[in-house]
Amino acid sequence: MAVTGILLALFLIAHMLGNLKVFTGETSFDHYAHWLRDIGKPLLPGVWFLWILRTVLVVAVVAHIVAATVLARRARAARPVKYAHRKKVNGSYAARTMRWGGVIILLFVIYHLLDLTTGTLNPVGNESKPYGNVVADFAPERWYVTLFYTLAILAVGFHLRHGAFSAFRSLGQQTPRGERRARTAALIFAVLLCAGYLVVPFAVLTGLVS
Amino acid sequence: MNLTLRIWRQKGPEDKGRMVTYPVDDVSPDMSFLEMLDVLNERLILAGEDPVAFDHDCREGICGMCGLMINGDAHGPQRGTTACQLHMRQFTDGETIDIEPWRASAFPVVKDLVVNRSAFDRIIAAGGYVTAPTGSAPEAHSTPVAKANADAAFESAACIGCGACVAACPNGSGMLFTAAKLTQLSLLPQGQPERYTRVIGMVDAHDEAGFGGCTNAGECTPACPKGIPLNTIGRLNRDYLAATAKGANNTPGS
């Protein structure tokens, strides 16, 4: 869980930084998007690098889901008879919603790929004009798309808040002071990442980016 | 105090079990929770009914025998307290109290509120000891131990093996118990020779017993009557990673 989670979190950082290029203007953003397909040239032909990256990400996602499923199945088997009276648990909201939150994130990722990678669900869907796709996507009259993106990003934030701390712990974080630091770092990371992702749709919504 | 108790009654391991309601009147707020159950049982016996079976021994909070899920809290609402040291003044007059046994497939119900916790013994048997005969307590200064390590090892050694961590864990995991029993040895010089075979053996025994996996949800430490910190599990994780990297197997002394 920890290793695949860290791979995916690193991708999220890179993806967020890429998104923020939307503020540098249409030419720059489109140039960046096209450059992504050309990384590794001339060492690797065509879009090879992109496909290598995609393969690594898919393997990480699948391994992450498999590990989570094993844990969930073990948890279910470990308590065949439920408590008649069980309070809401003491732990954080983030820790409680890891499993269903993960399912929501998976559904969002599928929609997101159909929307902005293949363009199937995008109102423009022009592969050569990613800037135009983003602006059309979060147009004010498509407020429900922005709302769904916001909810999904918040789910990612909660998932990361517990996930980042949990990854440190799984990889051997062992002191009480380190635990406080790891929890704080996870919270700051989750908040920054949420802010970085949400600023793009809201900039389009408010007309800052058009 | 007049209370209504809803208690899990189960005749034996094969019985399906159900919650049964008992009104209990004239409970003194100075009684312990187990004394209140004693009062109920005396009345049940006088009425010719089967008394409620529950585990208890020292009633001083140090043996780890008692363990009840009280209103959804392991050992009841007071933190850092076993059920035997919980007093009825923690409850209000007229309250309904739900009492259930620990729920885990590794802890099968024997009768009513009594569960079989021998899964914990199997985890200890898989490495929670030092093989070398150490004799009687040595002179304290003969083996230097860093103060911080001594304190952390003592914190782990406070575990009484009651099983509240398993009962409270949303995954039914016994990782806090395993980690406590592991780090009380791995932090001390005497525990070093078998440090890495021990961790593999104990974690394997934990998994084989049918406990769930730890997801760092953090439910165990608040439920633990001895307040064993969550970072104890991090110590186990670190030892486990080191042991896997070394390719250690689970045979003690290998």
B19 in contact with chain A, both atoms CB, cutoff 8 A? yes
Question: Which is the CATH superfamily of the domain at B118-246?
Answer: Alpha-helical ferredoxin (1.10.1060.10)
The region of weakest confidence among A51-60, A104-113, B125-134 is B125-134
Minimum mean pLDDT range among A21-35, B37-51, B124-138, B156-170: B124-138
Per-residue pLDDT, A210: 80
Please report, for chain B, the start and end positions of each structural domain, with discontinuous segments joined by +: 3-111, 118-246
Q: Considering only residues 114 to 173 of chain A, which have any Cβ-Cβ distance to chain B shorter than 8 Å?
A: 162, 165-166, 169-173
* Residue in B151, B231, B241, B244 to test binding to A, most A beta-carbons within 10 Å: B231
Q: Which chain B residue's Cα is nearest to A177?
A: B231
Residue A69 falls inside a structural domain = yes
Q: Is the pLDDT of residue B97 over 60?
A: yes
Asked if the model's pLDDT at residue B179 lies above 70, the reply is yes
pLDDT for the residue B250: 63
Q: Is A188 within the bounds of a domain?
A: yes
Chain B within 8 Å of A67 (Cβ-Cβ)?
A: no
Question: Using alpha carbons only, what angle is made at residue B145 by residues B143 and B147, rounded to the nearest 5 degrees?
Answer: 150
Contact B211, B117 (CB under 8 A): no
Q: What is the DSSP letter of A141?
A: G
A71, A162, A172 ranked by CB distance to B238: nearest = A172
Q: In residues, how long is chain B?
A: 254
Confirm or reject contact between A179 and chain B (CB < 8 A). yes
Q: Enter the pTM of the model.
A: 0.93
Chain A partners within 8 Å of B215 (Cβ) = 71, 75, 95, 98, 166
The pLDDT assigned to A4 comes to: 96
Whether the predicted pLDDT of A60 surpasses 70? yes
Q: Which residue has the higher pLDDT, A86 or B16?
A: B16
Please give the average per-residue pLDDT across A131-149, as a whole number. Answer: 93
Handedness of CA B100, B104, B105, B107 (dihedral sign): negative
CATH topology agreement for domains B3-111 and B118-246: no
Query: Would you say residue A68 lies in a domain?
Result: yes
| Mean pLDDT of the region B73-96 | 96
How much is the average pLDDT of A70-88?
A: 92
Is a pLDDT exceeding 90 seen at residue B19? yes
In a domain, A126, yes or no: yes
Q: How many CA atoms lie within 13 A of B232 on its CB side?
A: 32
The answer to whether the Cβ–Cβ distance between A174 and B234 falls below 8 Å is yes
Contact A78 B211 (CB under 8 A): yes
Q: Among candidates B66, B82, B71, B52, which has minimal Cα distance to B117?
A: B66
Examine residue A42 and say whether the peptide bond preceding it is cis (omega within 30 degrees of 0).
yes
- Tell me the residue range of the domain where A17 lies: 2-82+91-205
A81–B237 C-beta distance less than 8 A? no
Which band of pLDDT confidence, cut at 50, 70 and 90, is reported for residue A87?
confident
3-state SS, chain B, equals CCEEEEEEECCCCCCCCEEEEEEECCCCCCCEHHHHHHHHHHHHHHCCCCCCCCCCCCCCCCCCCCCCEECCEECCCCCCCCHHHCEHHHCCCCCEEEEECCCECCECEEECCEECCHHHHHHHHCCCCCCCCCCCCCCCCCCCCCHHHHHHHHHHHCCCCCCHHHHHCCCCCCHHHHHHHHHHHHCCHHHCCCHHHHHHHHHHHHHHCCCCCCCCCCCHHHHCCCCCCCHHHHHHHHHHHHHHHHCCCCCCCC
* pLDDT value for B251: 64
Q: Say whether residue B231 is in contact with chain A using an 8 A CB cutoff.
A: yes
Torsion of CA B10, B15, B16, B20, to 10 degrees: -30
- CATH of segment(s) B3-111: 3.10.20.30
Residue of B215, B220, B224 best to disrupt the A interface, most CBs of A under 10 A = B215
Q: What is the pLDDT of residue B254?
A: 47
- Specify the pairing of strand B96-100 against strand B114-115: unpaired
From residue B178, give the alpha-carbon distance in Å to each of B174, B187, B200, B233, B253.
6, 14, 11, 8, 19
HSE, CB side, 13 Å, CA atoms: give it for residue B249: 3
**For testing contact with chain B, the best of A1, A71, A73, A81 (most B CBs within 10 A):** A81
Q: What confidence score (pLDDT) does residue B224 get?
A: 97
B1, pLDDT greater than 50: yes
Nearest to B213 among A71, A83, A176 (CB): A71
Report the C-alpha dihedral over residues B184, B187, B190, B196, rounded to 10 degrees. Answer: 90
Contact at CB, A91 and B218, closer than 8 angstroms: yes
Average pLDDT in chain B: 94
Regarding predicted confidence, which is higher, B143 or B157?
Answer: B157
Q: Are A83 and B170 a contacting pair at CB < 8 A?
A: no
- Is residue A210 in a domain? no
Q: Measured between CB atoms, does B51 come within 8 Å of chain A?
A: no
Contact A198, A147 (CB under 8 A): no
ipTM of the complex: 0.90
Domain count, chain A: 1
The 10s digit of each residue's pLDDT in B205-254 is: 999 999 999 999 999 999 999 999 999 999 999 999 999 998 767 665 44
pLDDT at site B248: 67
Residue of higher predicted confidence among A92 and B250:
A92
pLDDT tens digits for range A96-110:
899 999 999 999 999
- Smallest Cβ–Cβ distance between A78 and the set B100, B104, B234 belongs to B104
